[in-house]
Amino acid sequence: MPTDPGPEETPESTGSIKDLILEQEEAASLIKNRSLLEPNEIVDEERIVGRDSQLTDITQHLRVAISNERPPNLFLYGPSGTGKSLIINAVCSNILELCESRDIRFGVVQMNCQNVGTLGSAVYELSRKVANDVGATVEVPEHGIPNKKKWRELYRLINEHYDTVVFILDELDMLVGRRDMEEPAFSRLLYQLSRAGSTDEITAQVSVTAITNDTKMMENVGSRALSSFTPEDVHFSDYDANQLREILWAREDAFHEGALSNDVIPLAAAFAAQTNGDARKAIDLMRTAGSIAEKANADQVREEHIREAQDKVEKNRVLEVTRGISTQKKLCLFATAAVARETGGAAKSPLGYRVYQYLTGTLDADQYHQETYVNKMKELTTYSLVETERKSQGPHSGSYLEFTFGENPNTIIETLREDSRLKDVHVDELRTVVRAQINQ
């Protein structure tokens, strides 16, 4: 009687997956410390480059916490990737250590506001972060209760566990909240947090640091919040190519010795300098190029790996930004990028709007007035994807907005075309329409 041969041996059952993992580990011989290639990694202070004045200012403002005094509120603003989060986190990390040595209960609670949504969600998320920091439990539900009860829970947690707490609200301008409210959610959040110390509900000392890429955010803060927040402003300007090179040289030991060809860091810095001097992009380029080189079993990271990484990083960034925006914003962005691609990088708002009209007509989509188109494009500036500048057409011809892009317009168009609605746009016909509008 034939015996059962048992399950057929496969590469998986012989352990070859483990062998494959070990082989890949051995092949990954270029990157030594991947954490140094994470843009948000809190690095040693000797690796912080080009931000001496901002570091001095923030340290001066926050140092009073080590004497158990309340630090002032701060407003950190400037383009994406210019060191705002890096510096505030580095300073707070050191203050935390000094306070621990003096038995001062100092807390740092950081929240990125990009995907929070509403004021109620923000308050609950802050309570959750405080509870995680101190090993406590949030005692109210996330949904189904008024915001007032969420605020009381946040105050309870703060009072029981902190002498002083610094709330770091990153990308605060993205916390817009419900459109039917007269005051944006970020303004109401600032008001409640900054006035907390002057009420009977809280005994701990509260300081708020607002971080934004939008230099005009404070113009949308309500009068009550402006009166109670009154921050110290710290501006972060673009890094230049020399500073970006220094930043990358300071992280060179993320790679094994000899793993980088001489032209890699200057090229990565040059690419990043073209995108608002974004240090995050420079670091991301190095990480991506290293991974590409390792996958190709190269013995060094070379220029071609940086160039390939540039294309990949640009597309990933556009994908990240456009994934969560509305179809109407995508149409506005697509039309404007189509104009910028033909003009060499800039698009006048009247031209962009006419191409937007063509797109909405072709796709049978809702079409809005030019003012709405312009407003939607201005909203996209908060993502550091597009910049606006008002230009004059002459003394008797009025003015217009000019849009310029931080990324290659062609990359934006190719990425947006992955949306099923925009796949129906005929590329050659679009180019013909854009060129006709430009030549009018």
Q: What is the pLDDT of residues 267-281, one digit of tens each?
A: 999 999 886 688 988
Model pLDDT, residue 27? 60
Residue with tokens 């991947």: 34
Are 83 and 42 in contact by the 8 Å Cβ rule? The answer is no
Annotated binding site: 82-86, 239, 251
Judge whether residue 397 has pLDDT over 80.
Answer: no
Quick one: what percent of the chain has pLDDT higher than 90? Answer: 57
Are 353 and 182 in contact by the 8 Å Cβ rule? The answer is no
The values of phi and psi at residue 298, to 5°, are -75, 155
pLDDT greater at residue 179 or residue 334: 334
Model pLDDT, residue 433? 92
Judge whether residue 71 has pLDDT over 90.
Answer: yes
pLDDT digits (tens, 9 = 90+) for 280-336: 889 999 999 999 999 888 999 999 999 999 988 888 878 877 877 888 999 999 999
Tokens (6 digits) for 352: 């962009």
At position 151, the amino acid (one-letter code) is: W
Across residues 200-211, what is the average pLDDT? Answer: 91
Model pLDDT, residue 65? 96
Model pLDDT, residue 199? 76
d(C-alpha 191, C-alpha 226), whole Å = 8
d(C-alpha 146, C-alpha 141), whole Å = 10
Residue with tokens 């030594």: 32
Model pLDDT, residue 198? 76
Tokens (6 digits) for 170: 């990153």
Are 339 and 401 in contact by the 8 Å Cβ rule? The answer is no
Radius of gyration from C-alpha coordinates of the chain:
26
Judge whether residue 6 has pLDDT over 70.
Answer: no
Q: In what order do the strands lie in the sheet with 399-405?
A: 346-348, 399-405, 386-392
Tokens (6 digits) for 164: 């002083």
Judge whether residue 101 has pLDDT over 90.
Answer: yes
Across residues 361-386, what is the average pLDDT? Answer: 87
What mean pLDDT, rounded, does the chain reach? 88
Model pLDDT, residue 396? 58
Please name the residue ranges forming H helices in 102-184: 119-134, 147-161
The values of phi and psi at residue 296, to 5°, are -85, 5
Whole-structure pTM value:
0.75
**Least confident span in 38-47, 188-197, 341-350:** 38-47
Annotated binding site for ATP: 82-86, 239, 251
d(C-alpha 440, C-alpha 432), whole Å = 12
- What length does the chain have? 440
Residue with tokens 């009247």: 350
* Among candidate residues 72, 81, 76, the one with its CA nearest the CA of residue 55: 76
Are 383 and 322 in contact by the 8 Å Cβ rule? The answer is no
* Among candidate residues 374, 379, 363, 340, the one with its CA nearest the CA of residue 425: 363
Are 217 and 84 in contact by the 8 Å Cβ rule? The answer is no
d(C-alpha 29, C-alpha 21), whole Å = 14
pLDDT digits (tens, 9 = 90+) for 132-158: 999 999 999 999 999 999 999 999 999
* Among candidate residues 419, 214, 231, 233, the one with its CA nearest the CA of residue 318: 419
3-state secondary structure 196-249: HHHCCCCCCEEEEEEEECCCCHHHHCCHHHHHHHCCEEEECCCCCHHHHHHHHH
Judge whether residue 12 has pLDDT over 50.
Answer: no
What are the beta bridge partners of residue 166?
A: 108, 207
The values of phi and psi at residue 336, to 5°, are -70, -40
Reported as type and span, the H/E element at residue 164 is: strand 164-170
Quick one: what percent of the chain has pLDDT higher than 70? Answer: 92
Q: In Å, how far from its chain's centre is CA 383?
A: 7
Cα→Cα distances 155→205, 286, 397, Å: 11, 43, 56
